[in-house]
Every structure is written in C-alpha cells, then in structure tokens.
Structure 1
Amino acid sequence: MEFRIERGALADAVAWAARVLPTRSPVPVLGGLLLEAADGRLAVSGLDYEASARIEVAATAVRPGRVLVMGRRLLDVCRVLPEGPVECAVEGSRFTVTGGGAGFGLSVLPLDDYPSLPPLPDVLGSVDAQEFAAAVADVTVAAGRDDTLPTLTGIRLGLDGDRMTLAATDRYRFAVRTLGWKPGTAGVSADVVVAARRLSEIARSFGGAGSVRLALDGGSAGFEREGMRTTVRLLDGRLPRHDKLFALADPVTAVTDREPLVEAVKRVSVVADNNSPLQFAFGPDSVLLQAGYEDDVASQRLPAVLAGTDGMTVAFNPAYLMDALASFDSPVVRFQLMGPGQRAMVTGHADHGDALAGTSGVTAQPAHQHLLMSVKPLVY
C-alpha cells in the first residue's frame, strides 16, 4: 500500500474518523483507524461498540491497499506534520508517513481482527446541516449526565411528516427544538433516543453548509454527507413527552433583554455557593436579581415588563439558568411563570412586542422552548 495526499486533507480525515474511537478498550484493534487507498481516494474508518465513522478524501493511490494503525497516534503525527504533500506507505510491519523532511514509522495492527463497519440504515430524508447543528446544541444542555439513567443522557429525535423534534431532559429542565426537514417519502415518522454526546459530536462535524441525509432502523441512526458517513447505536427506552409539561395554565409573563440579563446573572452569581438559588423579584417595570445569604450578597436591577400580576418572586439554579439563556441567540427572552417552586418556561423573541404577543395563547409556540423548575426563594 502506498498513497500521496496533502497534509491538511489527511489531518482532517483522520481527526473526523477518530472522534468515535474509544478512550479505553479491552479490544486493542478498536483503537485503530482503517486506511484504504484505491481509485484516487483514501477512506479512513473508525468504530467502537456504539458508533462508527467513515470519510473519503482525494488521494493518489500509488499501490492500492489497506492498513490498520493506532488512531490517536496517527492523529498526533498528523498534527505535527509540516504543511505540504505527504507520502504514506506500508513497509513490512510499519506504516510510514513522510513529508516536509519529517518521517514517522508506526506499527500496524492485525487486519484480520478488525470488525466490519455496520451498514448505513435506510435513508429517510435530509435536513439542513447548519440548522440541525444549531438545534442539537439548543437542547444538549438539558440532557442528563448520570450514566445510571442512560435514557436521560440522550436526545429524543422525533419525525412527524416534514417536522423534526429534538428534546432532552435531566428531570430538572426540559429543552425542545423543532425544525423542518425533507422526508424522502410521505408519512415518515419515528421516535428514537440518541446519546446526546454522540449526536452533538455528529451535528458539529456536519455543521457547515449543505444538507445531511438521515437514516434510521430499529437499532441505529446514520448520518451521511459528501463522502462522510457515521452511525450511532440508539439508546433503549423513551424520553417523557413534553406536551402536558409545557402546557402552562394562565402563567405570569415577564420579558427582558437577554444580553443584559446574561451579564447580570454572571455578575450576581459570584456569591452563590454550591449553586444556591438566584432570586428574581419581578415588578411592573423591573426585575431585581439577588444571590447570597447573610455574609456575602449581591444584587442588580434590570428593566423588565411584567404582565398578569403586580409582582412575583421566583428563584433558579444559576447554572441551569445560564445554560438556558446561553442556548438562545435572540435579543429578548420571555419567562412564563407559574409561581415559586413551579415550572417556568423560557423562550427567545425578536423584540418585546413579539414576546408579549404570545401571552394570549393564540400565536404558535416558538420553535425553541426551555422549561426550568424554579426553586423556593430565600428570605432576605
């Protein structure tokens, strides 16, 4: 086996495929990347028991062939190679990489022990890559981190006609994002759970311009685009439906500018120990943020508009609140409040008028919604 390729193309391909390699594995060959050169192309593949990745890039195949090398070591080599053309070849029991006067020799792994990559499931349709990446990022912050509850570490991927729903919850917050997609046939529907960490990596890797083809079967999800293909095993179980949780009866509505609120939350939270509550005291035309208790305290007042009552005081876990606010990029945020210790809905809007227009319940729900559980405020 021997091929020539530009250093940048090799480094990008190796980095993309190496995303799925396990950190530790009792099976040494699963730490390897499979390189296949033929017909003017280089294919780089990697897999573990949960995911697989394969990417094809242009290369000059001098001698077609296959080789399996330790993926992370090859990635380290690619990072330090000088810019310019690179020559790679199998020489005996070594895989050599040379370019710009630098040379490396890597030991090869036994090809016979390497399992076959899982096939791509049936393609159901396609979605805009950039919008999909943004939507996954919006909900990932609410996914659980407790591996003893594996289903809650996932993102619900629901398909219903030409609408896609992404949702995640860790029982204390619930984020939902809807977006359009292009089904391949009429009547496509699905409701599966994909590991949030895996789906986030996949979405970011496909996050440029263009579209991503989505494939599903009973046990895995696949994503494909322009010579790039990846699969991931589905999680067992189902996430709870959000419909009833998100139906708030006669909430109090508060509206404020997002960026000043983010800065105020960061500022006031410096005295909040161990995620102690961050209190919001809403009045008719302002909100007072307060944190800390007894020795160290902080506060800041911001302009706000309140509808539905003369005043309400609620409190939030500051880390959860910052995650929610950071997932929006709109100028204005709206809080729909049920009261202390109850549900609170956060949504983003273009301006105050748009945010307040939704209080009647007649307008369509925003595509991105983030539900938080408020906590009991402290007595100052």
Structure 2
Amino acid sequence: MEFELERDAFAEAIAWTAKGLPARPVVPVTAGVVLEVTEGTMIVSGFDFEVLNRIEVPVTDKSAGRVLVSGRLLAEIARALPPKDVRVAVEGNRLAVRCGSVRFNLPLLHIEDYPAVPDLPATSGKARGDVFATAVAQVTVAASRDETLPMLTGVRMEIGSEALTLAATDRYRLAERHIPWTPTGTVPSTAVIVPAKTLADVAKSLGSASEVVLSMGDADDAGFLGFSAGGRQTLTRLLDGEFVKFAS
C-alpha cells in the first residue's frame, strides 16, 4: 500500500477518527485505526463495537491495501508533520510516514484480529445540518448520566413522514424538539433511542455540513443508526429498552 495526500487532509482525517477510539479498550485492537486505500480514496475507520467512525479522503494512490495501526500514535504523528505533502507506504511490517525531511515508522497491528465492521444502512432521509446540530445541542443537555438507567442516557428519536422529534429526560427535566426532514422514499414511522453522547459528537462534527443524511437499518440491521455528511460517517448502536412516557 502506498499513497500521497496533503498534510492537513491527512491530519484531519486521522484526528477525527482517533478521537472516537476507546481510551482503555476491552479488546486491544479496537484502539487502532484501519487505513484502506482503493481507487484514489483513503478510508480511515475506527470501531469499538458500539460506534463506527469512517471518513473518506481523495489521495494519489500508487498501490492499494488495508492495514491496522495504533490510532493514538498515528494521530500524534499526523499532528506533528510539517506543512508538506505526506507519503504513506507499507514497508515490511511497518507503516512509513514521510513528510518533507521528516520520517516516522509505526508497527502494523494484526488486522486479522480486528472485529467485523457493520455496513452503513440504506439512506432513510436528510435534514439541514445547522438545524439538526442546534436541536441536538438543545436536547442532549437533558439526558441522564446515570448508567443504571441506560435508556435515559439516550435521546429518543421519533421518525415521522415530515419531521424528526428528539426528546431526552433525566426524570427531573425534559427537552423536546421537532425539526423538518426529507425522507427518501417511504419510511415507516418509528422511534429509536440513540446514545446522547454519540449524538452530541455527531452534531458537532457533521452539523456544519449543509445536510446530514440519516440511515436506518431494516430488520437485519435494525440495531444501528447511521449519520453521514461531507465524506464522514458515524454508525452507532442503538440503546435497548423502552423510553419513559412523556406525552399523551
């Protein structure tokens, strides 16, 4: 695997993906990021069984490939690179990162031990990025931080034919917002519970885009909800349980 790209694009992609990695992973390989290069695109992804972050960046590729390296180390290296084009190549059992006169080597991790990554479900619809981000910020503050009641640490998202309804409560306060959205085709009305922390992170990282695309799974992958914008994708596992009744 060998490719080249601009320093800022490389650093931003690695930093965004690595930020979502677990600090103390139960499975060590989930502290890594997967770099995949194919047909002029670098795909960087990180997955901890609960959340998948994935970003695509155009590159000049000389050979395709897929490797796993430490996310924390690669993010530190990317941040320290000078403002010149970056060349990345697999050399034996190491990943070589060159930028100007600077060179770093990272050991490759065993990618065969990496967990299977779920696919992003089909697109369900889209909402304006700024409206979505504002609504999420206003609602997530009311979510509970008490892990003994997991469903209250999430945001209830009700998907209708013309609007998304977001609601969160910690039993002492309630926040609710209705925002317009545009379904893709016929989307059945349903409600899911999204982890509040993940939803807040999604709003911060994708909310500056003109549109945020929502992807809802069917019967085979109904346990996940996807968000995408500007080449970035986040897929989160939904919370189980029934949300408290808050409206008649």
TM-score bracket for this pair, using the shorter chain length:
over 0.9
The residue aligned with 2:119 is 119
Structure 2 counterpart of 1:80, one-letter code: A
Structure 2: how far apart are the matches of 1:18 and 1:156? 27
Post-superposition CA distance 1:221-261 (Å, at most 9, x none): 011224322210000112223325xxxxxxxxxxxxxxxxx
Superposition map of 1:190-339 within 5 A: 190-217=190-217, 218-244=222-248
- Give the aligned CA root-mean-square deviation in angstroms: 1.4
Structure 2: how far apart are the matches of 1:8 and 1:162? 38
Higher relative contact order (CA 8 A, sep 6+): 2
Structure 2: how far apart are the matches of 1:189 and 1:232? 20
1:141 correspondence with 2:145: no
The residue aligned with 1:40 is 40
Structure 2 counterpart of 1:236, one-letter code: D
Asked whether the equivalents of residues 206 and 230 of structure 2 are also in contact (C-alpha less than 8 Å), the reply is no
Structure 2 counterpart of 1:227, one-letter code: G
Asked whether the equivalents of residues 209 and 230 of structure 2 are also in contact (C-alpha less than 8 Å), the reply is no
Aligned-partner SS, 1:185? coil
Give the direction of change, closer, same or farther, for the CA distance of 1:156–1:79 in structure 2 (3 Å limit).
same
Aligned-partner SS, 1:4? strand
Structure 1: how far apart are the matches of 2:17 and 2:11? 10
Structure 2 counterpart of 1:243, one-letter code: A
Post-superposition CA distance 1:189-237 (Å, at most 9, x none): 1101010001111121111132121112321101122432221000011
Structure 2: how far apart are the matches of 1:103 and 1:73? 14
The residue aligned with 1:65 is 65
Structure 2: how far apart are the matches of 1:134 and 1:161? 21
Structure 2: how far apart are the matches of 1:231 and 1:187? 19
Asked whether the equivalents of residues 30 and 114 of structure 1 are also in contact (C-alpha less than 8 Å), the reply is yes
The residue aligned with 1:13 is 13
The residue aligned with 1:336 is none
The residue aligned with 2:102 is 102
Give the direction of change, closer, same or farther, for the CA distance of 1:28–1:41 in structure 2 (3 Å limit).
same
Query: TM-score when scaled to structure 2?
Result: 0.94
Structure 2: how far apart are the matches of 1:130 and 1:115? 34
Higher CA-based Rg: 1
Counting aligned pairs with the same residue, the percent is 46
Shift of 1:187: 5.5
Segment of structure 1 superposing worse, 21-30 or 163-172: 21-30
Structure 1 counterpart of 2:244, one-letter code: P
The residue aligned with 2:87 is 87
Shift of 1:186: 3.9
Structure 1: how far apart are the matches of 2:116 and 2:85? 30
Post-superposition CA distance 1:75-129 (Å, at most 9, x none): 1111111112011111111111111322211111011111222011232111111
Aligned-partner SS, 2:97? strand
Post-superposition CA distance 1:41-61 (Å, at most 9, x none): 111011011011211101111
Asked whether the equivalents of residues 151 and 239 of structure 1 are also in contact (C-alpha less than 8 Å), the reply is yes
The residue aligned with 1:52 is 52
Number of equivalenced pairs: 244
Structure 2 counterpart of 1:165, one-letter code: T
Shift of 1:68: 0.6
Shift of 1:185: 2.4
Asked whether the equivalents of residues 160 and 189 of structure 2 are also in contact (C-alpha less than 8 Å), the reply is yes
Post-superposition CA distance 1:277-306 (Å, at most 9, x none): xxxxxxxxxxxxxxxxxxxxxxxxxxxxxx
Aligned-partner SS, 2:82? coil
Q: Which runs of 5+ in 2 are unaligned?
A: none
Structure 1: how far apart are the matches of 2:86 and 2:120? 31
Structure 2 counterpart of 1:228, one-letter code: R
Structure 2: how far apart are the matches of 1:215 and 1:63? 32
Query: TM-score when scaled to structure 1?
Result: 0.62
Shift of 1:62: 1.5
Asked whether the equivalents of residues 192 and 238 of structure 1 are also in contact (C-alpha less than 8 Å), the reply is no
Q: Which runs of 5+ in 1 are unaligned?
A: 245-380
Asked whether the equivalents of residues 35 and 68 of structure 1 are also in contact (C-alpha less than 8 Å), the reply is yes
The residue aligned with 1:318 is none
Shift of 1:147: 1.0
Structure 2: how far apart are the matches of 1:10 and 1:118? 24
Structure 1 counterpart of 2:95, one-letter code: F
